[in-house]
């Protein structure tokens, strides 16, 4: 086993998948990452904020759907 260079499926930048990371991923039963660490963080942040909105029952609205009170 040796370090692998993988190209991110989202940004196409190369990143290194180290031996330590490979061992950890294999021991947990996961596949090799498809996104670089930066894109993984962005995706996780995006997914987490979407999940929070769903838990609160909020619907994301388009700007033209937002009604303003004129009282």
For residue 41, what are the domain limits? 4-53
In a domain, 69, yes or no: no
Specify the 3-state DSSP secondary structure of 64. helix
Residue 48 has what pLDDT? 76
**pTM of the full structure:** 0.61
> Would 40 be classed as within a structural domain?
yes
The C-alpha atoms of residue 71 and residue 54 are separated, in whole angstroms, by 30
* Burial category of 36 from C-beta neighbours within 10 Å (exposed 0-12, middle 13-18, buried 19 and up): buried
What does the pLDDT read at residue 23? 96
Residue 3 has pLDDT above 80, yes or no: yes
55 SS3 class:
helix
DSSP code string of 11-53: T--EEEE-HHHHHHHHHHTPPPPSS-HHHHHHHHHHHHHHHHH
Number of domains in the chain: 1
Provide the pLDDT confidence category of residue 40 given band limits of 50, 70 and 90: very high
pLDDT at 21: 96
* Residue 22 located in a structural domain: yes
Assigned domain for 46 exists: yes
Give the model confidence (pLDDT) of 8-38 as tens digits: 999 999 999 999 999 999 999 999 999 999 9
């Amino acid at each position: 086993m040796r370090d692998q260079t993988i190209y991110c499926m989202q940004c196409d930048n190369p990143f290194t998948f180290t031996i330590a990371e490979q061992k950890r991923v294999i021991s947990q039963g996961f596949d090799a990452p498809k996104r670089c660490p930066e894109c993984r963080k962005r995706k996780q942040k995006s997914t987490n904020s979407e999940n929070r909105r769903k838990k609160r029952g909020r619907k994301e609205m388009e700007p033209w759907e937002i009604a303003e009170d004129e009282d």
